Chains A and B, each alone.
Chain A
Amino acid sequence: MDNKELIRQLADKLGRSREDVEKLLDAFNGIVAEKNGMLDSVAIPGFGTFEAKKKNERVITNPANGKRMLLPPRVVAGFKISNVLKGKLK
């Protein structure tokens, strides 16, 4: 299901216009991005948790030429599925 289809279905179910739904969805994405950026997690009961993890910087070695590289630290967005949904998917 792509974004369009998702918005169409949501608009149908909620009885709101697509623009409204899009606005809400955008705002939700913004909240997730903002909170995850602060390394906070956003928990959705019955669905899962959007959580960002900080990866430390590390030194890797290129096996081809033996050069060492210092990779920068980063924050990676992630999602942990809730046990409820996990059970349903089995």
Chain B
Amino acid sequence: MDNKITFPELIELLAKATNTSKRMSELFLKELFATISQSLIEGESVTVKNLGTFSLEQVKSRKSVSVNTGQEVQIPSHNKVVFTPDKVLADAVNQPFAQFEPVILDDEVTLDQLAAIDAAGSDSIGAMDSIDSGCAMGADEESPVSAEPLVTPPPFVEPQTPVQPEVPVEPSEPSEPSESSETSESLEPTEDDGIDILDIEREKREIARKSFVRGLAIGLVSMLAVALIAVAVWFFCMRGQKHKIVEGRQPVEGVENVQVPAVDSTATQPAEDNTPVVTDTCTATLYLTRMARKHYGDKAFWVYIYEENKDKIDDPNNVAPGTVLVIPPREKYGIDPDDKQSVKTAKEKAYKLFKQFSHGK
């Protein structure tokens, strides 16, 4: 972040990406910008495909005041270059935020509330996070759901729907009593490696959005979802008496979010012999990079999650919420967040993928 890629670095990157010599790529870059500059000096605008347009704009002569002497000076008319990024570049750069759309705010949502979330991000995200980690690597959290609704701290967060009063036979031994594990879960602070600004914003928007979805509509939807999950659980438990249900893949109750319901139930799957397969479910706020950071400690390793699930993912930039992904074990691809080489290989892979998909657009 905020690094400056210098010219020699750029030459090296370009040579590597195209398998040409450094000399050639240096020559190319110099000629490229000499040509663009020349064209601009001649007063012609230049369009570079997938990058943008450099155009000239005439700035009119105007009066100003010299900072040093306080005297009036006349700034002569001159040209300035206006760069308009191409849509391809603009989209690629904005990719982390591409999923967001402007939201009309309710009257009840005040700026103070939004600011409060910024300040004490970790608290209010608790509810969100319980979904995330719930459908994620839950070896110890497969407790059945308590019948009473959770009380979430912030008033404007959607109250969680009471779920599955008729919890059926519990197949594997629950590690803890349900209620305590459930509450501790929701109070748990967010990510181990701290919340960066990006995350906070994501949560904030999530909460802002949720405040609208409230009401009759969500009531109906969540009731439907509850019924669905209950049926799914019942169905799996019937099967579970023959097979064993994988530990930690219990359906999670978090029906508070419209995109999440019914997804969790699909996460339940029959056991695969000895090693439990770790899976994770994509949501609007949990996608490849964030998943990789959660499971491996570095987001660069998302490429391996993608490779493992190639058949389910059309475009790694745009994974549909609700997709259940298999998280490959670390050994399989030599994943080690502390090993620079390993991170580097992953990044190179990511770059190749990135090129592949940005060309496809």
* CB neighbours of B7 from chain A (8 A): 43-45
Chain B residues, CB < 8 A from A78: 83, 85
Q: Which residue of the partner chain, among B28, B46, B97, B355, contacts A75 with CB atoms under 8 Å?
A: B97
Within 8 A of A (CB), among B102-137: 102-105, 111, 114
* A27 vs B39: C-alpha distance when bound (angstroms): 22
0/1 string, A2-24, CB within 8 A of B gives 1: 11001001100110000001011
Instruction: Report yes or no: A30 in contact with B358, Cβ–Cβ below 8 A.
Output: yes
Q: Do the beta carbons of B41 and A74 come within 8 Å of each other?
A: no
Q: Do residues A9 and B35 form an inter-chain contact, with CB atoms below 8 A?
A: yes
Query: Which among B95, B105, B205 is the interface contact of A37 at CB below 8 angstroms?
Result: B95
Q: Which residues of A contact B102 (CB under 8 A)?
A: 69-72
The 8 Å CB contact of B4, one of A10, A31, A43, A59, is A43
Chain A, Cβ-Cβ closest to B106: A68
Interface size class of A (residues with CB under 8 A): 35 or more
Dominant secondary structure of chain B at its interface with chain A: helix
Q: Which residue of A lies closest to B78 (CB)?
A: A90
- Residues 40-69 of chain B: 1 if any A CB is under 8 Å from the residue's CB, otherwise 0? 110011111111101010000000000000
Binary A-proximity of B9-52 (CB < 8 A = 1, otherwise 0): 01001100110100011011101110111011100111111111
Give bound CA distance, A85 to B54, whole Å: 13
B87, chain A: closest CB distance, angstroms: 10
Chain A hits for B48, CB < 8 A: 3, 6, 25, 29
- List chain A residues, Cβ under 8 A from B14: 24, 27-28, 31
Asked if A73 is at the interface of the complex by the 8 Å CB criterion, the answer is yes
Which residue from chain B places its CB closest to the CB of A7 in the assembled complex?
A: B49
Given that A1-B45, A75-B97 are contacting pairs, would A26 and B28 also be in contact in the complex, using a CB cutoff of 8 Å?
no
Name the interface size band of chain B: 35 or more
Helix, strand, loop or mixed for chain A's interface?
Answer: mixed
A80 to B2, CA, bound (A): 15
**Residue of B24, B44, B92, B208 with highest tally of chain A CB at under 10 A:** B92
Q: Select B47's contact among A1, A25, A68, A85, beta carbons within 8 Å.
A: A1
For residue B359, CB closer than 8 A to chain A, the reply is yes
**Contact between B1 and A38 (Cβ–Cβ < 8 Å)?**
yes
A: residues with CB less than 8 A from B are: 1-3, 6, 9-10, 13-14, 21, 23-49, 52, 57, 59, 67-79, 81, 85-86, 88-90
For the complex with contacts A37-B95, A79-B52, 14 further pairs of A-B residues with Cβ separation under 8 Å are A1-B39, A10-B28, A13-B31, A25-B49, A28-B32, A29-B48, A31-B13, A34-B92, A38-B3, A39-B1, A40-B2, A52-B93, A70-B104, A79-B85
Q: Top 5 nearest A-B pairs by Cβ distance? A: A72-B100, A79-B83, A33-B92, A77-B85, A3-B49
Binding site for A on B (CB under 8 A): 1-7, 10, 13-14, 17-18, 20, 24-25, 27-29, 31-33, 35-37, 39-41, 44-52, 54, 56, 76, 78-81, 83, 85, 88-90, 92-97, 100-105, 111, 114, 201, 204-205, 208, 351, 354-355, 358-359
